[in-house]
């Protein structure tokens, strides 16, 4: 039984012409050899598996060929070429800098450089993974790299160019190897499949090329794995099963559910994908790539940028005709936002479901209305035909109360609905439109802070009858303090109300009281909760005409007490009994 050789080694290029995807670089090297203009040091950098070390070996063999061909390739027949092919050439030395990165290794290399070649013109030293050399090794290598003997040529190869010292880079000719395109990878895999008598499908090779991410060595390794799995018949289904790649069919099904506004089908497809073991973030990025491909296929010219098989490209073009540009732009924006928030989200499954819901509702009839764009309201998802609609109707406001309370009539109001998708009716202007959200038969509302305060105001007005009973300043203060004591979570508001007591205006005979606060923060806190406070006080004092004014104290109008003595003096000013108690017993504040 012959020893098995993996495809990455068996089909390793032996000539410049057989190098895949690096046409510009190989042409430059061949022209340099033909003209005799060879540099003393080269740096080959680029991603893994793109042909850096392979090109270095071919270059080393070609410059030592005794009878090169007319096209600049090595003859593979002379003594030098035969020795290289049989891996017994003394003119080509390879050093793995990952395991030989010390100063002693470089010094040993420098000693070998002094010896001239016995066959051929040059001794070539290929240093792979050169970025792994230590700082001291780089410094020891500098002088030799700058002025080597005329017969020595250095070829450095690395995947991390940024880790190499600038002094090394300045002494080398730098060749940047690019990732191999999907088309070139597919063509080479097809060639290997023909040589190995393996039956393959074009779509399967395309998936292999995408999985390799521009590296030919990775592509050949994956190809060997899939061939072993399928037994020589490489199909698209077998490839996605073996490599755990998400099938295009799921993306097309998801697109159809989005275009038909079918939220239920979209959520079921997402659940099926996740149940197969795919990560939610991979699904989101996959949908983003799918939408990007649909956008490319909107035009036949840009469709050529989509590197897939012909049959799948045709299907993308057909699906793209169903999608408008505006729809694709908004969908990509939603997906991109979900991708940014996925890592920070604590409930990643909820984020994925919400993303699908938003995508499915892009194609709803209301999605294009101006009112929907401004409010960004999510439409009802699930409906029940048998569930009776229960509308919450805002009662009309009494004229007398309307005159005393001021609010913005143009701010939109959102009503709460317990039915599937019914909207609450409100006796308001055309700008006050109700929008309800209902998920699983449970209605809930989405409103801004100002809208919430306005709804409370309307509720308070509608549920309280008109009353105008008299009350004393002491009653007002007592009810004020009682409301403050009932506050459990609002600690800041509670402290503000305790420290800032109300004062009746118009000599205590009117219905308006004033609260003097110490800073703008306290003023804002009272104004934000004004309606709740007034509702409580009006009910307790039985006076619906009660109004509250808040202002910041002027300089020296209200003295603040910070120290214990200042607090006690302030208490004595407000309560004369404390002063008499202090004087009778001769008390002193410690």
Judge if 479 and 498 occupy the same domain: yes
Residues 238, 175: Cα–Cα separation, whole Å: 38
Q: Are 256 and 189 contained in the same domain?
A: no
Can you give the pLDDT at residue 42? 93
Read off the CATH number of the domain in which 333 is found.
1.20.272.10
| Same domain membership, residue 428 and residue 320 | no
CA–chain centroid gap for 398, Å, is 51
End position of a domain, from candidates 176, 200, 219 = 176
Please check whether residue 565 lies inside any domain of the structure.
no
Q: Choose the final residue of a domain: 176, 198, 216.
A: 176
Q: Are both 206 and 324 inside the same structural domain?
A: no
Residue 79, in any domain of the structure: yes
Contact between 146 and 172 under an 8 Å Cβ cutoff? The reply is: no
Residues 304 and 166 in one domain: no
Burial code (b: 16+ CB inside 10 Å, e: under 16) for 563-583 equals eeeeebeeeeeeeeeeeeeee
Closest residue by Cα to residue 538 from 476, 496, 473: 476
Alpha helical stretches, state H, 297-364: 300-303, 310-321, 325-342, 348-360
Helix locations, 434-529, DSSP H: 449-463, 473-486, 491-499, 520-528
Shared-domain flag, residues 260 and 121: no
Quick one: 217 and 261 in the same domain? no
In a domain, 534, yes or no: yes
Indicate whether 379 belongs to any domain: no
Low-confidence ranges of the chain (pLDDT < 50): 1, 370-376, 384-450, 452-453, 458, 460-462, 556
On whether both 487 and 523 belong to a single domain, the answer is yes
Residues 252 and 221 grouped into a single domain: no
Distance of CA 18 to the CA centre of its chain: 40
Residue 349 belongs to a domain: yes
Residue 166 lies in a domain: yes
Asked if residue 435 belongs to a domain, the reply is: yes
Judge contact between 190 and 222, C-beta under 8 A.
no
The last residue of a domain, from among 463, 489, 518: 463
Tens-digit pLDDT profile for residues 262-289: 889 889 999 988 888 888 888 898 899 8
Q: 511: which 2 tokens?
A: 């219905």
Shortest CA distance to 310 belongs to which of 453, 354, 318? Answer: 318
CATH assignment of the domain containing 187:
1.10.8.60
Residues 19 and 101 in one domain: yes
Q: Are residues 316 and 290 in the same domain?
A: yes
Same domain, 220 and 255: no
- CB-based burial, 112-123: b 16+ in 10 Å, e otherwise: ebeeebeebbbb
Q: How far is CA 514 from the centre of its chain?
A: 51
Domains held by the chain: number: 5
pLDDT at 558: 55
- Do 543 and 467 meet the contact criterion of CB atoms below 8 Å apart? yes
Is residue 340 one of the residues assigned to a domain?
A: yes
For residue 557 the two structure tokens come to 């109008």
Domain that residue 340 falls in:
248-363
Give the pair of three-digit tokens for residue 60: 């080393």
């Amino acid at each position: 039984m012959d020893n098995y050789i993996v495809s990455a080694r068996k089909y390793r290029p032996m000539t410049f012409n057989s190098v895949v995807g690096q046409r510009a670089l190989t042409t430059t090297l061949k022209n340099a050899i033909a003209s005799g203009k060879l540099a003393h040091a080269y740096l080959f950098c680029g991603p893994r598996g793109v042909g850096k070390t392979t090109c270095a070996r071919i270059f080393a063999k070609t410059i030592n060929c005794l009878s090169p061909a007319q096209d600049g390739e090595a003859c593979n027949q002379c003594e030098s070429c035969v020795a290289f092919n049989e891996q017994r050439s003394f003119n080509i030395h390879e050093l793995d800098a990952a395991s030989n990165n010390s100063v002693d290794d470089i010094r040993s290399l420098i000693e070998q450089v002094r010896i001239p070649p016995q066959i051929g013109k040059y001794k070539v030293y290929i240093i792979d993974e050169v970025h792994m050399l230590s700082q001291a090794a780089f410094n020891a290598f500098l002088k030799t790299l700058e002025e080597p003997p005329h017969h020595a040529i250095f070829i450095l190869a690395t995947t991390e160019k940024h880790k190499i010292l600038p002094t090394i880079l300045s002494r080398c000719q730098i060749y940047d190897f690019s990732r191999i395109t999907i088309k070139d990878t597919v063509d080479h895999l097809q060639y290997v499949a023909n040589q190995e008598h393996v039956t393959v499908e074009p779509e399967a090779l395309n998936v292999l090329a995408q999985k390799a991410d521009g590296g030919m060595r990775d592509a050949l390794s994956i190809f060997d794995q899939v061939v072993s799995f399928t037994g020589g018949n490489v199909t698209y289904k077998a490839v996605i099963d073996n490599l755990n790649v998400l099938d295009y069919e799921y993306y097309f099904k998801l697109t159809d559910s989005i275009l038909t506004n079918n939220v239920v089908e979209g959520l079921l497809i997402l659940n099926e994908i996740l149940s197969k073991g795919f990560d939610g973030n991979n699904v989101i990025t996959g949908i983003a790539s799918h939408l990007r491909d649909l956008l490319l296929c909107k035009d036949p010219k840009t469709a050529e940028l989509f590197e897939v098989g012909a049959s799948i490209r045709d299907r993308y073009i057909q699906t793209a005709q169903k999608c408008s540009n505006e729809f694709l732009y908004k969908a990509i924006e939603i997906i991109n936002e979900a991708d940014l928030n996925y890592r920070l989200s604590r409930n990643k499954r909820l984020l994925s479901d919400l993303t699908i819901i938003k995508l499915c509702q892009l194609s709803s009839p209301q999605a294009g209305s101006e009112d929907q764009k401004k409010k960004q309201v999510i439409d009802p998802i699930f409906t029940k035909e048998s569930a009776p609609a229960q509308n919450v109707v805002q009662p009309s406001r009494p004229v007398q109360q309307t005159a005393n309370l001021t609010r913005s009539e143009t701010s939109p109001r959102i009503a709460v609905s317990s039915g599937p998708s019914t909207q609450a009716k409100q006796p308001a202007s055309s700008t006050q439109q109700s929008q309800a959200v209902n998920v699983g038969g449970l209605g809930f509302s989405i409103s801004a802070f100002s809208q919430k305060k306005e709804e409370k105001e309307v509720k308070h007005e509608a549920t309280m009858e008109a009353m105008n009973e008299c009350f004393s300043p002491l009653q007002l203060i007592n009810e004020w303090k009682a409301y403050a004591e009932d506050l459990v979570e609002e600690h800041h508001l509670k402290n503000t109300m305790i420290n800032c007591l109300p004062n009746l205006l118009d000599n205590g005979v009117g219905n308006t009281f004033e609260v003097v606060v110490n800073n703008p923060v306290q003023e804002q806190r009272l104004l934000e909760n004004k309606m709740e406070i007034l509702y409580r006080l009006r009910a307790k004092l039985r006076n619906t005409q009660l109004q509250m004014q808040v202002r910041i104290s002027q300089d020296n109008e209200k003295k603040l007490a910070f120290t214990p003595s200042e607090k006690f003096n302030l208490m004595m000013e407000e309560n004369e009994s404390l002063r008499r108690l202090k004087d009778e017993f001769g008390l002193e504040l410690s």
